Amino acid sequence: MLKLLILIIFPLNLLIANDYILQRQDSMQKFNKLMRSANQMIKNSEINEDLSQIYTDIENIMTEYPTLFPDDSFKGKTKASEDIIANRDKFNEISLETAEIARLASLASLNNDIELLQQSHQNLFSTCKSCHSRFKN
């Protein structure tokens, strides 16, 4: 009976871990696409509520992001560095900072504050490298 349970639970664990991996990769692909859309809109001077909503979507993605890295989700098809486990504070801090920058960009779009918008949009792009260089293999 115990053996049977282990046989069932072990693959289930792997499946759940794999689900986190797929979710966080999906989040990143969305983040990437949203940034491209924002780029395009800024280029076309479409500073409006839709642009603001794009940054709100990014804010929401990055607020949830740190919850997608449980300790047992670093095996298999993931590029996430195990450094995340040992440095959760730093990882959470970068995620939170990114969410805050996105919130600023969202407000800037609503207020038609072009200078703040461009600054925060640039800062959002800088977060990719600062997080990847440290926490992505």
Which residues are at the interface with ligand HEC (CB under 6 A)? 21, 24-25, 28-29, 31-32, 35, 78-80, 94-95, 98, 124-125, 127-128, 131-132, 135-136
- Residue placing its CB nearer to ligand HEC in the complex, 83 or 113: 83
Which residue's structure tokens are 């607020």?
63
Q: In terms of Cα–Cα distance, which of 133, 41, 36 is closest to 90?
A: 133
Cα(71)–Cα(129) distance, rounded to whole angstroms? 23
Which helix (H) or strand (E) is 51 found in, with range?
helix 49-64
- Residue placing its CB nearer to ligand HEC in the complex, 46 or 79: 79
Cα(125)–Cα(32) distance, rounded to whole angstroms? 10
CB 97 within 8 A of CB 53: no
